[in-house]
Structure 1
Amino acid sequence: MPQSRLFPMTEARYAKDMTMGQMSRDRALRERQPRRSAGGIFARRGRLRRVLHYGGLAVIFCVAMILAGFLWYADSVTTLVPPAQAKADAIVVLTGGYQRIDQAVELLRRGSGQRLLISGAHPTTSPTQIRKMTQSSPDLFDCCVDVGYEALDTIGNANEISQWIHDHGYGSVLVVTNNYHMPRSLMELRRKDRATQYIPYPVVNSDLKHTDWYSQPDVLRTLLSEYGKTLVAYARGLIGWGSDGLRSTARAVKTSS
Structure 2
Amino acid sequence: MTSKGDSSPVFSEAIRARSVTRWRWRAAISAVVVAALAGCAGFVWFLSLVLPNEHKPSRNADGIVVLTGGSSRVSDAVELLAEGYGKRLLISGVHPTNGFSDIQRSLPESQPLLMCCVDLDRSAVNTRSNATETRRWATERGFRSLIVVTSNYHMPRAIVELSHSMPDIELIPFAVVGEKWREEPWWTSGAALRLLLSEYVKYLFAEVRVAFGGVGQGGRPDTEIQPPVAPRKPATASAN
Pairwise same-fold verdict (TM > 0.5): yes
Residue-by-residue CA offset, 1:132-186 (whole Å, 9 max, x unaligned) = 2222444322221000000000001000101111111111100000000000000
- Deviation, 1:36, is 8.0
Q: Does 1:246 align with 2:215?
A: no
* Alpha-carbon distance in 2 for matches of 1:125, 1:79: 31
Which structure carries more relative contact order (alpha carbon 8 Å, separation 6+)?
2
Q: As a proportion of its length, which structure holds more helix?
A: 1
- Which structure: larger Rg? 1
* Alpha-carbon distance in 2 for matches of 1:201, 1:72: 19
Q: Could you tell me which runs of 5 or more consecutive residues in structure 1 were left unpaired when the two chains were aligned.
A: 1-33, 250-257
Structure 2 counterpart of 1:156, one-letter code: S
Q: Does 1:235 align with 2:208?
A: yes
Structure 1 counterpart of 2:17, one-letter code: F
Runs of 4+ in 1 over 6 A off after TM superposition: none
TM-score when normalising by structure 1: 0.75
* Alpha-carbon distance in 1 for matches of 2:175, 2:89: 16
* Count of residue correspondences: 214
Q: Does 1:194 align with 2:167?
A: yes
Equivalent residue, structure 1, for 2:121: 148
Equivalent residue, structure 1, for 2:66: 93
Equivalent residue, structure 1, for 2:187: 214
Aligned residue among 62, 68, 78 for 2:35? 62
Equivalent residue, structure 1, for 2:13: 38
* Alpha-carbon distance in 1 for matches of 2:103, 2:176: 18
TM-score when normalising by structure 2: 0.80
Change (3 A) 1:73 1:210: farther
* Alpha-carbon distance in 2 for matches of 1:37, 1:175: 67
* Alpha-carbon distance in 1 for matches of 2:110, 2:183: 37
- Deviation, 1:211, is 4.8
Q: Could you tell me which runs of 5 or more consecutive residues in structure 2 were left unpaired when the two chains were aligned.
A: 1-8, 224-240
Equivalent residue, structure 1, for 2:83: 110
Q: CA RMSD in A?
A: 2.6
* Alpha-carbon distance in 2 for matches of 1:149, 1:134: 20
